[in-house]
Amino acid sequence: MAAVVVTLLSAVTGAAACSSPSAAGPCAVTRTTDVAVPMRDGITLRADVYRPATTQAVPVILMRTQYGKTSAQVGPSRYQRPDWFASHCYLVVIQDIRGQFASGGTFSEFTNDRDDGYDSVEWAARLPGSSGKVGMYGSSYVGATQWLAVETAPPHLATIVPANTGSDYYDGWTYENGAFRLNFIEPWVMDTIALSAADNRGDTKVAQQLTQDYKNIAGWLRYTPYRGFPPFHPGDPTVAPYFYDWIAHRTDGPYWQRWEPQRNYSRVTIPVLDVEGWYDAFLAGGVHNFTGMVSSGGSASARTDQRIVIGPWDHIGWGRSDSIVAPMLKGIGPVGNSPVNELMLAWWDHFLKGVDNGVSNGPTVNYFEMGANVWKTAAAWPLPGTRWTNYYLSSGGHASSVLGDGQLVTRAPTSGQRPDTYDYDPRNPVPSVGGHSCCAAPGGSQGPYDQRSVERRADVLVYSSAPLATDTEVTGPISVTLYASSSAPDTDWTAKLVDVHPDGTAVNLNNGIQRAGFRESSSAPTPIEPGRVYQYTITVWPTSDLFRAGHRIRLEISSGDFPQFDPNPDTGSWLGESTATQVAHQTVLHDAQHPSTLVLPVIPASASGKAGTTFPITARQ
């Protein structure tokens, strides 16, 4: 054990939408650093323990992080400091996972966090002064460490609070409907986990090289094939061998399925509080974790005690004045600030201390409706009363770019229409302007931005509704049925939902992609026949937006979204294995026999929940 630091907390500040700046709790706190945590295989992990000054046994709050226990995911603008939580009379344990920062062993993403999670929970439950109940928290991979631990059912784990994390480490994490999530995976590995693991093992040369390479990340994102990506030293088992495993396993299968939370809901018998953002890299997975636990949790109480919060956030920008986010998110102001700290404290007070504070009252969805900039509450996802509304693609055959004649109409086509065509060149793909990637706004293809520069490209089909006569809330999952053909044996289809303001500003709400070869199966892709028309379903990730009267609903269809996703080379191979590319001629049909359709979850005013500018800590407030 290292030195003990004693701190009397009197006023720890943490902004939140639901209250004035948060006050510290009644317990003084001591911190002990680098406490040894033995694992079953003899490896020692290290943790900092924050102990409240109380004679009563108290619950333990555990964070297992690969990003450094000393930072504890406090910045930028996320969690309160661990001593703030401890001041509310909790034992708080912040632990470095295996092979990262102060902990021993060899780091390998996902590999050890099930067993290590179990052992860490049970170790924490036995700490002097512990009541025996343990809760966990943390964002992103620190959310994954919670799901990986809970899959092993540690007997003393009583609740988890995962934020911004997935349900499947293949689809919606590393790949998305067959496309490689390039702008997330390569920068993330280079700038964080591979770098910190090199520091952990004392490999100064590699650490310096990764730091230098990251300065040219825009250039490295264009390097192909990915299986030979030089910064991670292909063939070297010490730098980032897991990255090359991910490239080698580009289809779903046993490699990925051994870890998936979505395959283990029936084993989870505890309450879960999920926290997500509309522009987060793992939004779809977070929603799936909520709905999966409500329908398939391992106990009646687990199925009941589920809650999800979805705010106007990207991956690490949770509102607040000092967060670095897209300007349009920043413009929402304090009403969009994350309530996570106060909400977690109330959640733990209820499920770990037995306080009857109304934080749970059946499955609960708290969501931020953009456009109106208000918080709303529902009892299920999709929202009860959702009116699934079809908008049909229509044109005279000239929907290329915003200058074309593409329309969204509410009546299905009754006769033939000329198809729309464009050429997709993987050497010049449509650029990513915002989206649901990771991890920081300046380089992460995440957040809302004006799409007008993208919409002027000839390889983007643009379909717009007439100006809306009334305000229209769209909240929930979105899909596009697309009838299309390609001259290539494989290609991509992308879709983006956009809110068009009266002045022409075109704000992306969310997007989706479908690799043609993966149209029927994520585990056994098959080529397409050039020139043949196929029916594709493109899953656009969820959103919540109030389209104001006078605004228009817009759908963009294309075949590229780079660097958010790897460009499809149109050869039947992919850029993980090959550098060859060719241009594909794309055709989108929307006639009576091929009614290409955007399906939106419209929420009638009669079904819309009570709106408020203050986040409701109690479940049904």
Using DSSP bridges, classify how beta strands 407-409 and 387-394 pair: parallel, antiparallel or unpaired: antiparallel
Q: Is 223 exposed, middle or buried (0-12, 13-18, 19+ CB in 10 A)?
A: middle
CA pair distance 149, 268, nearest whole angstrom: 10
283 with 477: CB under 8 angstroms?
no
Q: Where are the beta strands (DSSP E) in 432-533?
A: 435-436, 446-447, 461-464, 472-486, 492-500, 506-515
User: What are phi and psi for residue 55, nearest 5 degrees?
Assistant: -90, -5
Please state, as a whole number, how many other Cβ atoms lie within 10 Å of the Cβ of residue 21: 10
- Please, what's the largest Cα pairwise distance for the chain? 79
From 233, 288, 315, 350, the catalytic residue: 315
465 with 552: CB under 8 angstroms?
yes
488 with 584: CB under 8 angstroms?
yes
**280 tagged catalytic:** yes
159 with 134: CB under 8 angstroms?
no
Show Cβ contacts of residue 477 under 8 Å, excluding neighbours closer than 6 positions.
Answer: 287, 382, 539, 540, 542, 601
Please state, as a whole number, how many other Cβ atoms lie within 10 Å of the Cβ of residue 388: 12
From 83, 168, 191, 280, the catalytic residue: 280
**432 tagged catalytic:** no
**140 tagged catalytic:** yes
Of the candidates 171, 139, 146, the residue with the CA atom closest to the CA atom of residue 246: 171
Show Cβ contacts of residue 24 under 8 Å, excluding neighbours closer than 6 positions.
Answer: 9, 10, 11, 12, 84, 87, 88
CA pair distance 324, 140, nearest whole angstrom: 17
Question: What is the set of active-site residues?
Answer: 140, 280, 315
